[in-house]
Amino acid sequence: MSELFDAVDALIASRSPLPPPAERKRLRQAHGLTLDEVATALRVRRATVSGWEAGKTEPRPPERDAYARMLEQLARLYPADAPLPAEDTAAPEARAVVAAPAASAASAPEPARARSGPTRPPAQPAHTGSPSRRTAPAPTDPAAAPTPAVPAGRPTARRPAERRAAPARTPAGDTDPRFENGPLAVVDVDADGQVLAHCVGGLVLDVAAKSLPALVEWTLREGRLGQPKLSGPGKDADPLVVLTEAACEHYGLPVTLTRQERLAGRLPEGHKVVKQLARAHWQLTKRGFGPWVRIYRPAPGAERSCVQLCIPSWDALDARHWGNAGRLPPADLARLLGTYAARVMTPRGSTAVTGLELMTALHPPTRASQPDATGTRHSEHNPGSLGREPVDCAPCEAPDGHPVLADLPRFHRRTPAEVLVEEAYDWARPLTDAECLRPHLVGIDVNMAFAAGANGLTVGLGAPTRVERPVFDPKLPGSWLVDLSHVDLSRVKLAKQWTHLDGDLLPSPFTPKGERPTGPAWYATPTVAYAVELGYDVRPVEAYLRHDNGRYLDAWYSRLRDAYLATMADLGVGADLSPHEFLAAMDGYRQRDPELAIVVSAIKATVKGGIGKLRERPRGEGWKPGQPWRALARPTWRPDIRAAVISRTRINMHRKIVKHAAFTGEYPVAVLSDCAVYASDGPSPLDFLPYRDGKPLPGGFKLGVNPGLVKWEGTQTVLWGEGVREQFGAPDLNLARYIKDGTVTDQDTGE
């Protein structure tokens, strides 16, 4: 009988009455709840709750019963005639401050205090000498809740209702009490001159530091900021402090850098703030005091005394990757950077620097050895890492100006037989007559293409070994001098069968410009392996091989893939959508939460920048060709790994193009890195991608959010494409570069 009762209860719950959509939103806002908080409580996506409030969708069991219960309780607290408070607003003058004991000395920073919400009653001070304690709010404030006592010396945590919480899929907060306030803080100054530290989750702390050295001390002693290490033998992340323009003025820093300071990338050594740090025995790295600055003291043992500063008004957050993040309010910026830190890592500089640092954080160069006879542990090489010392590259892998090439004539131009050139695609061709009769040009873009290229890739970990007349081994990473000019794309082997294609309409997989090679050239292992896959023999003349190798980038790929997928899921783009659902979800996904959309852009830039940083070139500093530059001293300066990733990414793209051409008879008209453009009878990718019963062509292009799958990049008309090429007199103008919005300028075409 109880089972029947349960079935009846479930049936009634499935029809739980709900107020109109507008009333649902009013009740949520009246209680100061965010969409993220409701979504987390109901275990659904933020976009799902937004759809319920917009009337686009209706909740289904079991969430419907819980949602109806929440709205029913809120309706009792906030009748329809109650005034609706403004959302996401704050009144600084109404904030209440928790009382705290005075500092023991004038120079010592005061313990951090949390700022409460604008509508909360002020907390009562505890008796002298006891920890700060919040009193229970008056019964007339149903949104408030009692705050437990906080141990002495710790900042009291407060997450005001008007602050937006971190996305639902952000990893759980650190349980380590050293980092209980999160990985970072955005420091600002309010209208009353009070310095505030905005932390992740809406937490706001008082900062009793009147100078920059005192702020560094406060961060290390009272701020409780940082992030646990990502790998067993690794190191905890240093706390990150972001300074707003008001904070820069407060601490004696310029709001913007002068032209000379921008060119130098730092403040002059004689600046008063730099002198203050020196007097307080703080040191700066060789980078100096720039947009990203590391301030540290040498510490004994394993302890670290280091704080990193980020100054957005000095262009620390590149707008190409971070959008308008530098102009966001402090709480919103803390949420954005906190989400990135939780899912990727605490930023260590630009997205490129962070991408490289993530590799090291996941594979530290050293680890503690087993105890020796005396019980002492020593530092030893960590297997699978790049080690502590840099390794020399092969001459063919060295970029122009490298010391290994110092004996070459000054204006010598190396041929393909002298230099390894593995770069992304930049290829285009004229349209055929049949393609000109089609109305549309449709671009598709590979998601996280370079991350997908790094997945499962075996790369060298140590120095190369030169071998003459080697037998090609596709499992051995290295650089190979081999002639691939005999590979004919009009006849290739697919699924162990020879297939005939129109080779004139395909780019060559062996050169970035898509041109067929004319003789011996240097290639990375994935490129040569693809020639064998297409059915052709290869006979290398020479090779630089790395017998010490491993899948160094696997953990790096997994971390960034998970970060990307979790953030896209928060934006309403899941990994299990059908092609039609995916295209619909991608339509306007950035507008659903612009801040999370910035996180997506930053994650993508972390992938590309991290790969590019493996072959960082000289950056001024008086460098001259033939001389070493600073990046060469890093173990992560590895042009061979960069070449292997780009090679595999280009080959992955070409493999999909060939599979698509063999199955449909259609060929791309332009390819730019991870974007391909096809002539189509319709404006959607589904008008030319060969889906059958919802299933894509095996090994071809597939719509989806996962790395390696494709999304719609943009659609233009064939008349637009031919008109642009005619206007600029460039029949081979790469239309993939402009397919997204159709805008072409004289500067783009070199006119």
pLDDT at 47: 74
* Cα–Cα–Cα angle for 175, 180, 185, rounded to 5 degrees: 140
Beta strands in 387-454 (DSSP E): 426-428, 440-446
Higher pLDDT, 8 or 225: 225
- Average pLDDT across the chain, whole number: 85
Rg (CA), the chain: 29
Q: What are the chain's domains?
A: 2-77 (1.10.260), 107-116+153-347 (no CATH), 395-424+457-550 (no CATH)
As given in the structure block, the two tokens for residue 442 are 């449709």
747 pLDDT more than 70: no
Mean pLDDT of 466-472: 97
Exposure letters 480-499 (e unless 16+ CB within 10 A, then b): bbbbbeebebeebebeeeeb
Least confident of 172-186, 276-290, 520-534, 559-573: 172-186
- Residues 390-403, mean pLDDT to the nearest whole number: 95
The model's pLDDT over 252-274, given as tens digits with 9 standing for 90+, comes to 999 999 999 998 899 999 999 99
The two structure tokens encoding residue 368:
């503690």
**Residue 554: its pLDDT value, please?**
96
Beta bridge partners of residue 366, listed in sequence order: 381
Q: Does the structure show a pLDDT above 80 at 381?
A: yes
* Stretch among 173-177, 263-267, 569-573, 581-585 having the lowest mean pLDDT: 173-177
Q: Which residues pair with 550 in a beta bridge?
A: 459
Residues 597, 607: Cα–Cα separation, whole Å: 16
| Lowest-confidence pick of 22-26, 265-269, 481-485, 487-491 | 22-26
Per-residue pLDDT tens digits for 119-146: 333 333 333 333 333 333 333 333 333 3
pLDDT band at residue 196 using 50, 70 and 90 as cut-offs: very high
For range 433-462, the mean pLDDT? 97
Answer whether residue 117 shows pLDDT above 90.
no
> Is 611's pLDDT higher than 90?
yes
Give the DSSP H/E element, type plus range, for residue 322: helix 319-322
Q: Tell me which of 150-154, 472-476, 550-554 is least confident.
A: 150-154
**DSSP string spanning 587-625?**
TTHHHH-HHHHHHHHHHHHHHHHHHHHTTPPP-STT--T
Q: Are 348 and 214 in contact (CB under 8 A)?
A: no
Give, in order, the Cα–Cα distances in Å from 541 to each of 147, 537, 596. Answer: 74, 13, 50
Q: Residue 532 is encoded by which pair of tokens?
A: 């064998």
* pTM for the predicted model, two decimal places: 0.79
> Could you report the per-residue pLDDT of 638-669, keeping only the tens digit for each?
999 999 999 999 999 999 999 999 999 999 99
The whole-angstrom separation of Cα 604 and Cα 144 is 40
What average pLDDT does range 376-399 have in this prediction?
92
pLDDT band at 166 (very low <50, low <70, confident <90, very high): low
Task: Report DSSP state, residue 366.
Answer: E
Res 76 pLDDT > 70? yes
Mean pLDDT, rounded, for 286-312: 88
Element (H, E) at 339: helix 330-343
| Residue 433 one-letter amino acid | D
How many other C-beta atoms lie within 10 A of the C-beta of residue 541?
A: 13
Task: Give residue-wise pLDDT tens across range 672-731.
Answer: 999 999 999 999 999 999 988 778 988 999 999 999 999 999 999 999 999 999 988 888
Compute the average pLDDT of residues 114-120: 42
CA distance linking residue 640 with residue 650, whole number of Å: 15
Q: What is the structure's pLDDT at 648?
A: 98
Summarize the chain as % helix, strand, coil (round to 5). 35, 15, 50
Q: What whole-number distance in Å separates Cα of residue 68 and Cα of residue 18?
A: 6
Contacts of 383 (CB under 8 A, 6+ apart): none
Segment 489-528, tens digit of pLDDT: 999 999 889 999 999 999 999 999 999 999 999 999 999 9
- Which has more confidence, 7 or 102? 7
What pLDDT, in 10s, does the model give residues 342-360?
A: 999 999 999 999 999 999 9
pLDDT at 3: 61
User: For position 401, what pLDDT does the model report?
Assistant: 92
Q: What is the mean pLDDT of residues 374-379?
A: 83
- What pLDDT score was predicted for residue 9? 60
State how far the Cα of 467 lies from the Cα of 721, in Å rounded to an integer: 48
Report which residue type is found at 745. Answer: T
Contacts of 462 (CB under 8 A, 6+ apart): 387, 391, 546, 547, 548, 549
